[in-house]
Amino acid sequence: MRKVVLVPGDGIGPEITDSAVRVVEASGAKIQWEKVEAGAKVMQEIGRPIPPRFFEWAIETGVVLKGPVTTPIGSGFKSVNVTIRQRLNLFANVRLVKSIPGVKALHSNVDIVIVRENTEGLYSGVERESSYGAVESVKITSAEASKRIAKFAFEYALANNRKEVVAVHKANILKKGDGLFLRCAGEIASGYPGIKFRDMLVDNAAFQLVTNPSQFDVIVTQNLYGDILSELCGGLIGGLALMPGANFGENIGMFEAAHGSAPDLAGKGIANPTGIILSAAWMLDYIGMKSEANKIRNAIYKVLGEGKVLTPDMGGNATTEQFTEAVIAALG
Ligand code: NAD
């Protein structure tokens, strides 16, 4: 039995993580789930949104499967997601944007990996109010974190037979901070002569992604740009709910879908669990259960490809439960 920390999250989190757990168990993977709640309810109960045992267990097991957690807007406690990523030093957020045969989408030939720096940038949490009624939100860019994320992107490219890394930035305006990020990426690139390297301004990248996404292979970028561009990419392949994601640090991986807690769908039983199921399959790869992971991916692709049992976001009328049952049946 392999121990994995499970955070159901809130909103649609409990419904979709339940689906992923059932699919993982039906695949034959032997997992012992260590469940920890996090979010607003926990905040009310213990005065902090993440119980300390989460961090202890995450470090001990090195593997987390996490549902989305709602973040209060404009005030309230600091994002649970940002806190976890910073406390556990999960410096690389990776999202896989891959067309799925049979799924209705804007583009059908997309296969992009977005590698996003996860610990600093505009998500540093440093904001101050100036006396003249303005707010300064501090964007932190360090050489250390920039080189670390660029190295991660190139190592990922090498290990996964990818041909090119594109560094996305806004160094024409943010000459110092984004300029530093770009220089660091270039420096790391010179150590990987077998992998092509180019850079692109973030505004152009948004345009290029929508008009010609097949030109992209691996994208490496800073925190906010990566967050926005990866959601844009969800729109290319047929939905936000189709993208798996993971956060990596030294000897630790936390797997979660790219989307949020979708409060508009919470409790309705119609959320699409594809992203979290594919994230769970990736988690199984990570812990060496590759045949179970492949079984799950094949089952998901079969159900989506057949198009008979689809949740409403994909144009169908199936519930999360019916979709989950279809995936379990397709495991064979
Ligand atoms: P969202 O991703 O929750 O929802 C955006 C849109 O996509 C909504 O229309 C929603 O219904 C739809 N959607 C999302 N997931 C879906 C799914 N699985 N099936 C079907 N439709 C789905 O983004 P938001 O509304 O901007 O954010 C809601 C909350 O989630 C916020 O509090 C935000 O901070 C939080 N959030 C958490 C995470 C995380 O935990 N990793 C990530 C992003 C946002």
d(CA 271, CA 15): 8
User: pTM of the full predicted structure?
Assistant: 0.96
Instruction: Provide the pLDDT for residue 332.
Output: 81
Exposure string of 221-252, with b = 16+ CB inside 10 Å and e = fewer, is bbbbbbbebbebbbebbbbbbbbbbbbbbeeb
- Give the Å distance between the CA of 129 and the centre of ligand 1: 29
Domain 1-93+240-332 annotated CATH 3.10.20.600:
no
For domain 106-237, give the CATH number: 3.40.718.10
Per-residue pLDDT of the chain (332 residues; tens, 9 = 90+): 999 999 999 999 999 999 999 999 999 999 999 999 998 889 889 999 999 999 999 999 999 999 999 998 888 888 899 899 989 999 999 999 999 998 999 999 999 999 999 999 998 888 999 888 899 999 999 999 999 999 999 999 999 999 999 999 999 999 999 999 999 999 999 999 999 999 999 999 999 999 999 999 999 999 999 999 999 999 999 999 999 999 999 999 999 999 999 999 999 999 999 999 999 999 999 999 999 999 999 999 999 999 999 999 999 999 999 999 999 999 98
* pLDDT confidence of residue 78: 84
pLDDT value at residue 300: 97
84 C-alpha to ligand 1 centroid (Å): 18
What type of residue sits at position 319? Answer: T
Question: Quick check: CB of 209 below 6 Å from ligand 1?
Answer: no
Nearest ligand 1 atom, CA 265: 11
C-alpha–C-alpha distance, residues 171 and 245, integer Å: 27
260 lines ligand 1 (CB under 6 A): yes
Q: What is the DSSP letter of 121?
A: B
Buried b or exposed e, range 166-189, using 16+ CB within 10 angstroms:
bbbbbbeebeebbbbbbebbeebb
Whose CA is closest to atom 11 on ligand 1?
262
The preferred substitution site among 227, 230, 233, 259 for testing ligand 1, maximizing ligand atoms within 8 Å of CB, is 259
Q: Does the C-beta of 85 come closer than 6 Å to ligand 1? A: no
- pLDDT in the model for residue 33: 98
DSSP state of 108: S
Domain with CATH 3.40.718.10 in the chain: 1-93+240-332, 106-237
Residues contacting residue 309 through CB under 8 Å, at least 6 positions apart: 303, 316, 318, 322, 323, 326
Helix 290-306 crosses helix 320-330 at what angle (to 10 degrees)? Answer: 120
Q: How far is the CA of 9 from the centre of ligand 1 (A)?
A: 12
- Say how many Å lie between the CA of residue 262 and the centre of ligand 1: 4
| pLDDT for the residue numbered 131 | 80
pLDDT at residue number 328: 98
- How much is the pLDDT for 124? 86
pLDDT at residue 68, as a whole number: 96
The tokens for 125 are 């949490």
State if residue 74 touches ligand 1 by the CB under 6 angstroms criterion: no
Whole-number Å distance between alpha carbons of 4 and 50: 17
Residue to substitute in 240, 243, 264, 314 for testing ligand 1 pocket (most ligand atoms within 8 angstroms of CB): 240
| pLDDT on residue 15 | 97
Q: Is 309 in the pocket of ligand 1 (CB under 6 A)?
A: no
pLDDT at 119: 93
How far is ligand 1, taken at its centre, from the CA of residue 330, in Å?
A: 27
**Smallest CA separation from ligand 1 atom 31, residue:** 70
User: What is the distance in A from the centroid of ligand 1 to the CA of 261?
Assistant: 4
